[in-house]
Amino acid sequence: MSDSASTVAALNSTRGLVHERLQSIQKETELAIERAQQAELDAANLYARSVATGNSEGENAASTEMQKASAMLIEADEHARRQELIIAALQAEIDGLDSQITTAQQQHSQAQDNALAAAELTLGEEWNRLAEQLAAVGAKILAADRYRGGGSMLLSGLSIPSFGPSSMELCRNDVLGGAEGITIADLIEA
């Protein structure tokens, strides 16, 4: 794995951990508030039942529970306010990581593109070298045909493209021109 790909993977891993922690804090905060609200509601219902049944002891106990539940809700709200600061900081961290991930991905893409361009250039040079070798073999074939008295149209459909900024195409006439300097001795030695 390239350095840029490793960086992207590491940043994504870190982002996942921070995001997971953010969600955990949000859920814990929501649950604490829900529990406090439910306790306050339960105490209010108990108070209402006690009033309806004329149970003054139950009414006093329910009133005490309501005070506890209200205090618990106030504490949960205060805790939620503090957690919001942490949540905002974690979200800012995630945003920063997202920016770093985007940059690292762009760098990875650029590095990959540069590597592919270099490979294309190298392969193009190899292609051109092999095309020249093929043209040299073709020239020998045409020279042998000429010395045998043939007037055939060997390699008449020959068309070998080359790569690069000055890309041209090798055709039969180019190969035929190369056959001019080949002697019978050259062919027999080959």
List pLDDT tens digits, range 45-58. 988 999 999 999 98
pLDDT the model gives residue 52: 92
Mean predicted lDDT score pLDDT of the chain: 91
Mean pLDDT across the stretch 12-41? 94
Helix extents (H) in the chain: 3-53, 56-147, 172-179, 184-189
Tokens 């508030």 belong to residue: 33
Q: What is the dihedral of CA 59, 64, 65, 68, to 10 degrees?
A: 160
**At 185, is the pLDDT very low, low, confident or very high (cuts 50, 70, 90)?**
very high
Element (H, E) at 148: none
Longest dimension (CA), the chain: 129
Residue among 136, 138, 179, 131 at smallest CA distance from 157: 138
The residue with greater pLDDT, 136 or 2, is 136
pLDDT the model gives residue 118: 95
Mean pLDDT across the stretch 19-37? 94
pTM: 0.60
List pLDDT tens digits, range 90-146. 999 999 999 999 999 999 999 999 999 999 999 999 999 999 999 999 999 999 998
pLDDT the model gives residue 152: 72
Mean pLDDT across the stretch 146-175? 86
Give the 3-state secondary structure of residue 55: coil
pLDDT the model gives residue 153: 80
List pLDDT tens digits, range 58-85. 889 989 989 998 999 899 999 999 999 9
pLDDT the model gives residue 1: 56
pLDDT the model gives residue 49: 92
Residue 149 carries which DSSP code?
Answer: T
pLDDT the model gives residue 5: 84
